[in-house]
Amino acid sequence: MGFCSFFTRQPLIVVLDQFEEFFRYQKGRALFEPFLQQLTGVFSNNTLPVHLVFSMREDFALELDAFKKFVPLSVFNNLYRLDKLGKAAAQEAILAPLKPTGFRYEPELQAQLLQDLLSRDLKRDANSPLADMTESVDPPYLQIVCSQLWEREAANPDKILRMKTYQAAGGAAGLLENYIRNTLQGFSEKTKCWLPAPSTI
């Protein structure tokens, strides 16, 4: 990593995304501790212009205890929890990425998309009496749905994201299902056997 840092703008930031997968599939294997030692060598070397960012599910956070053998856990005191987005934050996350592109949502689509995403169960009516209890959205859901919608409208010369396109794709639930289906097609049958059963979208 030190060598790589010479060819990038310093500091070199390495993101280890979905790091819980390392603990799920490598714990107890021969290379588990050597890999931890190598990582420890990176963030323990103050002269190395490299920063590590660990991204992982909260329910796996205690697995970081595996580093105790090599480094004080105080190095993990700098934590950031990615919470669900409330209504105002979700609306900003929907609209802000479009500003540099010159695109815009049809007003009715903007309202419907926000309503659908704020519903925890995308297959139920967001106007139900429980709606006030679920006015939040998981950032990955929002990102996937908006990205899928963008892919369908990016070539639109009118620079408008349209309600008819959203509805034709099956709404938020349909866009999510399409993303998951296309992603799974990229896995081998052997790999699919290791995947957890999909939860309800």
168-193 pLDDT per residue, tens: 999 999 999 999 988 888 777 776 66
Per-residue pLDDT at 123: 47
DSSP readout, 28-75? Answer: TSTTHHHHHHHHHHHHT-TTS-EEEEE---GGGGGGGGGGGGTS-GGG
* Rounded mean pLDDT, 128-156: 84
Cα–Cα separations (whole angstroms), residue 42 to 55, 131, 155, 170: 17, 47, 44, 46
Per-residue pLDDT at 11: 81
Contact 166, 112 (CB under 8 A): yes
Per-residue pLDDT at 122: 43
Per-residue pLDDT at 121: 47
Q: Is the pTM of this model over 0.85?
A: no
196: pLDDT confidence band, cut at 50, 70 and 90? low
97-122 pLDDT per residue, tens: 999 999 999 999 999 999 999 885 44
Contact 102, 159 (CB under 8 A): yes
Residue 199, pLDDT > 80, answer no
